[in-house]
Each structure stands twice: as C-alpha cells, then as structure tokens.
Amino acid sequence: MAKIIEGYMPFRGYKTYYRSVGECKDGKKPLLLLHGGPGSTHNYFELLDVLADDGRQVISYDQLGCGNSFVEGHPELWTLETWIEELETLIEHLQLKDIHILGHSWGGMMIIAWLIEYKPCSVSSAILSSTLSSSKLWGSEQHRLISFMPQEHQEAIQKAEANNDWKNPEYLAANDYYTIRHACDIKGERPECLMRKKRFGTESYITAWGPNEYTPLGNLKDFDYTDRLNEISQPCLVINGTNDESTPLLAKTMYDNIPNSEWELLDGARHLTFGDQTETYCRILRNWMEKHD
C-alpha cells in the first residue's frame, strides 16, 4: 500500500489540511484533486488512492471552510478568489510542477476559472469531473431533472423555492429523493471514506452556492465561463454520468467549446461517478494521465 502523508499549510491566518498518497515514479506526474461543494471534503477522493499504486502521487485537500480546514463565522472568505488563492498557495507549498489536476463539481468550476483567468503553466492536463461552466445552465438542467420526479416532490421543491423555506419536511423528503436519484446513495453500506463523519462547510456552501444543488443563490450564481472556454489551452478530459446532476448537455457544452478536449460518459452513473463506477473511472483516468505525462 502506498505511503500516506498528511499535513497542514498556513493560509490567511488559518490552516489548510492536505493528504498525499504515494510518490511519482517513471516520469509520471502528480494528480491534484479538488473536491466539490463548496464545503464538501477530500474524503470521497480516498476512493482514488488506488491510482497511487501505479507509481503516481495523488494529492487531495480540504478547502478552507470544511473538514480538517474548518472555519466558520467569516462569510467574507467564501469566494472564488479565496479558494483559487488557496489552490495556488498549496501548489507552491508542496512544490508541485507539471501536474494533472482533477476537479469534481465545484472543484471543476475552480479549474475552469483558474485556467482561463490565471493561465498557469504548471498544468499538463485537467480532468473536469461532473462539473459545469455556467451556473444558470446548471440550474436550468436541474429543474429539468426535477420535472421527471413524482408530482408531490416537484410541488414541494417549488413551494420551498417560492417561500425560501428549506426546512419543510416535504421539501427535505423531495431533496433526499433528488439526491439518491442524481447525486449518490445516502443510505445503505458504502466504503468507509463515504460513511466517515465529516465537518461539512455549511456556511461556505450557502454563502457561495445556495441552499441546495439546484437553486444557485450565492455569490457563484452568475458564474459563467462558457463563452471563454476556448481560451483553455491544456488538454481536458470531461467526464460525467448519464444520471448525473452534471447532465450530458452540461458536459457537451464544455466538450464542444474546449479546443483540446475528450469526453467520457458513464452509463448509469450519478454525480459521484467515481463512487458508482470506481473501477471504470480509475481505468479512464490512468489511460488519460499516461497519455499526457
């Protein structure tokens, strides 16, 4: 089993937790993982530890505001700029060069903005996993998915959105139904890293995104880089599932507009694609990174 190293990096007077698995051999380049949310944690990325068995360093971290980097009571921190600054600080702190970078959901949004606005020269390839280039298009697609749910769940979500009431039991039941259908299992047996208790960054999630996956009301509600995707010069792999919150339309929008891109669509997978189809997902990543090492 590959060696695991954990540590903390000073950042803005706080500390950012990171986790490194394995080391690079035979010319392979490290893989840096950006989790979703904002406000989730690195935990689910432990499903990808097996990638380190092939002689590749795999690095994940808890972004400021969640997990082992938990901070709250500072809503002014929860901006795209804060988290990109943290990303660049971590890359410098760990002395990473020529990396593959993977962003899941919100993490993919970070990568898109970073590649376009900051134009880093240290990225060999990017993996845009179940993500989006436009919050408005995302919201539209989620409501299209909701239109296929049972009528009582549709009405409960509509009522919650109209009244800004996110505590009604009928809404919560509808949200659970949506989560199981398009995101991931929330009950039953799952790998330990998915069952482990974590400190979710609720404040950072609500401030930056909103009350749920399908109602972007936070400061990212106007996030839209679709018209600038052609500025991305790095090779990009777009990957999502047919039952994913990141719908085929969202994936195709990125694939069509990023010049040097490929697209993998996993049949039957939901938003946590690498949880639903871990072996297939890892095989795709191995092939992609070996091609771009």
CA 50 distance to own-chain centroid:
19
Banded model confidence at residue 12, pLDDT cuts 50, 70, 90: very high
pTM, to two decimals: 0.97
Given this model, what pLDDT does residue 189 score?
77
pLDDT of 264 strictly over 90: yes
Contacts of 192 (CB under 8 A, 6+ apart): none
Predicted confidence band of residue 166 (pLDDT cuts 50, 70, 90): very high
Q: Which domains does the chain have, with CATH numbers?
A: 4-135+190-292 (3.40.50.1820)
- 153-183: b (≥16 Cβ within 10 Å) or e: beebbeebbeeeeeeeeebeebbebbbebbb
Q: Are 118 and 84 in contact (CB under 8 A)?
A: yes
> Does the structure show a pLDDT above 90 at 160?
yes
Exactly one of 135, 204, 271, 276 is catalytic; name it: 271
Q: Which of 244, 246, 261, 276 is an active site residue? A: 244
What is the structure's pLDDT at 236? 98
pLDDT at 188 over 80: no
Strands 99-104 and 31-34: parallel
Q: Which of 20, 40, 105, 204 is catalytic?
A: 105
**271 labelled catalytic:** yes
Dihedral angle at the C-alpha atoms of 169, 38, 237, 148, nearest 10 degrees? 20
The pLDDT assigned to 84 comes to 98
Annotated active-site residue 125? The verdict is: no
CB 91 within 8 A of CB 99: yes
pLDDT, tens digit, for every residue of 85-97? Answer: 999 999 999 999 9
Q: What is the pLDDT of residue 193?
A: 87
Q: Is 105 a catalytic residue?
A: yes
State the pLDDT at residue 241. 98
pLDDT of res. 190: 84
Question: For 129-145, how does the pLDDT look when each residue is reduced to its tens digit (9 = 90+)?
Answer: 999 999 999 999 999 99
pLDDT at 249 over 80: yes
> pLDDT digits over 112-130, tens only?
999 999 999 999 999 999 9
Q: What is the Cα–Cα distance from 41 to 171, expressed in whole angstroms?
A: 25
